[in-house]
Amino acid sequence: MGCQAMAIVKRSLRCRSTKGFTATRVDGLRFVGIFRWPGAIHEGKGEAAVVIDERANEAQRNALLRILTGQDTEPGATIFQVFSTTFEKLHEPIFAAIDFEIDIDRRKGRAVVRGVTEGRGEPIKNPVTGDDYRVRIDIPKSFEYSLAEIGRGWTTVSRPMQFTLADSYAQFAHVNLCQSGILR
């Protein structure tokens, strides 16, 4: 079946580029990463697409694209750099409005990029009581995050690739990155 994923991030990059973007601020901008592999991620042969907030100017777009493709990151330091080593195809970037709301502690979120993707997340429900069930993953030395709230997710991607995830795995996390990895 393979692995498909969508990541939505807002205001979590605190990177400085080593390739001349040191003065380029990306605070408050959003981006969406869309990923698909035919098998396990580490087996490669994946494809990716990046949606960059339409509010970004050209310098910000270039800086974000370098960061998100792992070009300005130490090897193995961030999820973007690690994932970049597993892609055979990187689609042309999309610049669009990203409508995004998230409440990490409540494990609720929603994202819409019109004509590209739409997704939502919610808490796992206790099958007996129907109450929200809280599950966390704590990985102190991870390149992904330190602590993630786990929930359920629904995503439809219509371009540049197509897939649907229904009642699937979802993570909600505060992630502060720099070129050397997670800021703890």
pLDDT tens string 102-161 = 999 999 999 999 999 999 999 999 999 999 999 999 998 888 888 999 999 999 999 999
pLDDT in tens, 34-82: 999 999 999 999 999 999 999 999 999 998 898 888 888 889 888 889 9
Non-local CB neighbours of 20 within 8 Å, separated by 6+ positions? none
Where along the chain do its domains lie?
3-182
The arithmetic mean of pLDDT across residues 161-171, rounded, is 93
Report d(CA 155, CA 167) in Å as an integer: 9
Find, among 96, 89, 140, 142, the residue nearest to 117 by Cα.
Answer: 96
Residue 103's alpha-carbon distances to 72, 121, 123, 178, in angstroms, are 30, 10, 11, 23
Whole-angstrom Cα Rg for the chain:
16
Report d(CA 49, CA 7) in Å as an integer: 11
Q: Is the dihedral of CA 32, 34, 40, 45 positive or negative?
A: negative
Model pLDDT, residue 9 = 63
Find, among 184, 181, 182, the residue nearest to 73 by Cα.
Answer: 181
Model pLDDT, residue 144 = 85
DSSP state at residue 63: H
Q: Read off the tokens for 182.
A: 């997670």
pTM: 0.86
CB 111 within 8 A of CB 145: no
Model pLDDT, residue 98 = 95
Model pLDDT, residue 80 = 87
pLDDT in tens, 10-20: 544 445 444 54
58 membership: H or E segment, kind and range: helix 58-68
The arithmetic mean of pLDDT across residues 88-108, rounded, is 94
Report d(CA 99, CA 163) in Å as an integer: 20
CB 79 within 8 A of CB 144: yes
